[in-house]
Amino acid sequence: MNAIVALCHFCELHGPRTLFCTEVLHSPLPQGAGSGDISGQNEQAEEEEGGIQMSSRIRSHSPAEGASADSSSPGPKKSDMCEASGEIGGCRSLAGGHPGYVSHDKETSIKYVSHQHPNHPQLFSIVRQACVRSLSCEVCPGREGPIFFGDEQHGFVFSHTFFIKDSLARGFQRWYSIITIMMDRIYLINSWPFLLGKIRGIIDELQGKALKVFEAEQFGCPQRAQRMNTAFTPFLHQRNGNAARSLTSLTNDENLWACLHTSFAWLLKACGSRLTEKLLEGAPTEDTLVQMEKLADLKEESEGWDGSEEEEKPSSQPDVVEGQELSKSSPETSLVPDCNSWNVAHRRLSVFRSLRHMRQVLGASAFRMLAWHVLMGNQVIWKAQDMDLVQSAFDVLRTMLPIGCVRIIPYSEQYEEAYRCNFLGLSPHVQIPPHILASEFAVLVEVRAATRSSLYPTLFDDEQSLNKYEFLVTSGSPVAADRVGPTILNKIEAALTNQNLSVDVVDQCLVCLKEEWMNKVKVLFKFTKVDSRPKEDTQKLLSILGAAEEDNVKLLKFWMTGLSKTYKSHLMSTVRSPTSSECRN
């Protein structure tokens, strides 16, 4: 991530000052950052942490050193820096001649360099301005907390101000801030939650260490009573330089700057790795829109559950979410599905690996009947003792449908109506109503124990688990072998039977076919639901789309239920606008 993280301090004598900053270098170290290594100090402590190699380096000169910096150096002069007696002052982090810190990321060949100020004059100016603004005008209410500011010219800043306890300071505390500067405003805003949590953790650690030192000093020599008993004189003249203590003294941590370098370097790397750019061609697909809507609804519901004070009585019905599945659970089980555990369990216990694999197991005719019912939106019922087998079957079959058309109850101890789910997993002892068994709008797959050792030739070593089952596919309206069926089904079967196509290629073909037919669904929805055209015109449109056959029409009507709310609301708002009405007339 192209950014700079800096620790800033408000000095009572010199105002806002930059104490310590870490920057990212994508090229070899600039002159002066690593060429001044002292050969006699081969004690460069190197350690590995998270793929980053850390070492201490001596710079040939540093702006913070004051005396060694030339007149063109962007850093402050020595006279502008606090010098407490016997120690580094409050305006300084590293003493003159002290090594800076360099971390090498072996994975990306990026270097993270830390010192008091950036070497580049332009970067120094940007950090300096951000430091001044973070500790003067750009503060949140209470003067402690996060805030965002910046512009295109000087960069955008995430700033978190905070106080550190100091028994010798005015008001017994000093004011600091940690700032993150970068030129990408959108990236920085999207990183707000991550930066807030991690920087807050660094601040809590610093405040905790300083509080222990403060309490120990107050116990030994209470400053409040001493000041009240002292005659009033200007506070700055009372200090005699002793109050301008460094942060290492306030926290009693000699390794403070090395730890901050490690934290800042990790922060830059982690923040740059958590967000990645993804190239999208064209408008988002309907599946993408539906997924975003479902995630937003799930997040809103979960927030409602978290804020609720009363626990609702769990329903006796299994929970159903479109495009997701929730198994019937006990009252103690959370209603929010654990997607990570589901994915891990599915990978470990997967039975059906693909549509082609399922077709080989069930047989061509049985698979065609099952696929026809899936595409038509009829209820698909699997009865089996093995819950993982049922979940695996549904995970494969759902790839033929748009996400918005999928409603799954993976496993239930009672039959559920078709309006609640189009994929239903049942225990073998569950009784299905007779009218459902005889219905043309349902298909039943019964998984029974095999009567012989092998039902089909074993193609893979891990198929032994399927050899103990036999699959019986029945329906009240079996699909005739000579029935043409929907066009997309014929194309899917053609792709599955073509052995020259790999499973990955077949998956991409399926994505293209779904997108092609979803575009036809959009046209039909706009034509019939929005424009309200007569049936004669609709038949002409279906002929143009190549979907005039009965099965194709049924498929389009079912898939219309999978359109996203975003697309529907966009069309309806367009129709209601005056300009669109005038154009249509």
Q: Which range has the worst mean pLDDT, 207-221, 292-306, 501-515, 535-549?
A: 292-306
Q: What is the pLDDT of residue 572?
A: 74
With H, G, I as helix, E, B as strand and everything else as coil, classify residue 101.
strand
In tens, the pLDDT along 426-450 reads 999 999 999 999 999 999 999 988 7
- Among 378-387, 420-429, 464-473, the least confident range: 464-473
How far is residue 172's CA from residue 162's CA, in Å, rounded to a whole number? 13
Residue 132 CA, chain-centre distance (Å), reads 33
pLDDT value at position 340? 41
Highest-pLDDT range among 225-229, 329-333, 531-535: 531-535
d(C-alpha 441, C-alpha 560), whole Å: 18
Could you tell me the sign of the dihedral formed by the alpha carbons of 578, 581, 583, 585, in that order? negative
100-151 pLDDT, tens digit each: 899 988 888 889 999 888 888 899 999 999 999 998 888 788 788 999 999 9
HSE value, Cβ hemisphere, 13 Å, CA-based, for 344: 4
pLDDT digits (tens, 9 = 90+) for 194-222: 999 999 999 999 999 989 988 888 776 66
Query: In sequence order, which residues have a C-beta less than 8 Å from that of residue 408 and are 6 or more positions away?
Result: 320, 324, 325, 394, 398, 421, 422, 423, 424
What are the backbone dihedrals phi and psi of residue 162, each rounded to the nearest 5 degrees, phi first? -160, 165
Spatial CA neighbour of 422 closest among 446, 438, 401, 437? 401
Do 378 and 443 form a contact (C-beta atoms < 8 A)?
yes
pTM: 0.53
pLDDT tens digits along 226-238: 555 555 555 444 4
Percentage of the chain modeled with pLDDT above 90: 37
- Which of the pair, 264 or 236, is modelled with greater confidence? 264
pLDDT of the residue at 262? 93
CA angle 150, 152, 157 (to 5 degrees): 30
pLDDT at 61 over 50: no
In whole angstroms, give the CA distance from residue 48 to residue 104.
9
Contact 329, 387 (CB under 8 A): no
In this structure, are strands 469-475 and 408-412 parallel, antiparallel, or unpaired? unpaired
CB 410 within 8 A of CB 395: no
- The set of long-range contacts for 271-275, using a CB threshold of 8 Å and a minimum separation of 24, is 271/1, 271/3, 271/191, 271/194, 271/195, 271/198, 272/1, 272/3, 274/191, 274/194, 275/187, 275/190, 275/191
Alpha-carbon Rg of the chain, whole angstroms? Answer: 34
Whether the per-residue pLDDT at 330 is higher than 70: the answer is no
For residue 57, the model assigns a pLDDT of 47
Looking at per-residue confidence, does 53 or 348 come out higher?
53
pLDDT, residue 230, reads 57
Instruction: Work out the average pLDDT over 378-398.
Output: 92
Range 289-325 burial, b when 16+ CB lie within 10 A, else e: bbbebbeeebeeeeeeeeeeeeeeeeeeebbbbbbbb
CA distance 73 to 119: 8
Task: Tokens for 226, please give them.
Answer: 């001493």
Which domains, ranges and CATH numbers included, belong to the chain? 1-27+91-222+243-273 (no CATH), 355-450+467-482 (3.40.50.12430), 505-576 (1.10.10.1730)
Closest CA to 246 of 389, 123, 53, 90: 90
Q: Give the closest residue to 562 by CA, choosing from 518, 498, 526, 532.
A: 518
Element (H, E) at 38: none
Quick one: pLDDT at residue 68? 38
How deeply is 259 buried, as exposed, middle or buried, from its count of CB atoms within 10 A (0-12, 13-18, 19+)? Answer: middle
More confident residue, 380 or 348: 380
Amino acid at 256: L
Which amino acid is residue 35, in one-letter code?
Answer: S
pLDDT computed for residue 147 by the predictor: 93
Give the model's confidence band at 66: pLDDT under 50 very low, under 70 low, under 90 confident, else very high. Answer: very low
Q: Are 100 and 93 contacting, i.e. CB atoms less than 8 angstroms apart? A: no
Query: Could you give the CA distance from residue 191 to residue 195 in angstroms, rounded to a whole number?
Result: 6
pLDDT confidence tier of residue 331, bands split at 50, 70 and 90: very low
Comparison of pLDDT for 107 and 556, the residue scoring more = 556
Average confidence (pLDDT) over 320-324: 48
Which of 127-141, 275-289, 392-406, 567-581 has the highest average model confidence (pLDDT)? 392-406
Phi, psi of 337 (to 5 degrees): -70, 135
Higher pLDDT, 572 or 506: 506
